[in-house]
Amino acid sequence: MKITAFLKTPLFTLDTEKPHAPLGAVVLVGQQIERGDGGITLRVDSFYDAKGRPLKGAPVTLFVPLAKIDNVLHHEV
Model confidence at 33, pLDDT cuts 50, 70, 90, reads: very high
**Rounded-to-integer distance, Cα 4 and Cα 40, Å:** 12
The number of domains in the chain is 1
CATH number of the domain where residue 45 is located: 2.30.30
pLDDT at 63: 97
pTM: 0.92
For residue 10, give its domain range: 2-74
| Cβ contacts of 31 within 8 Å, gap of 6 or more | 1, 2, 3, 42, 43, 45
Q: Number of helices (H) and strands (E), helices first, in the chain?
A: 0, 6
17 pLDDT tier (thresholds 50, 70, 90) = confident
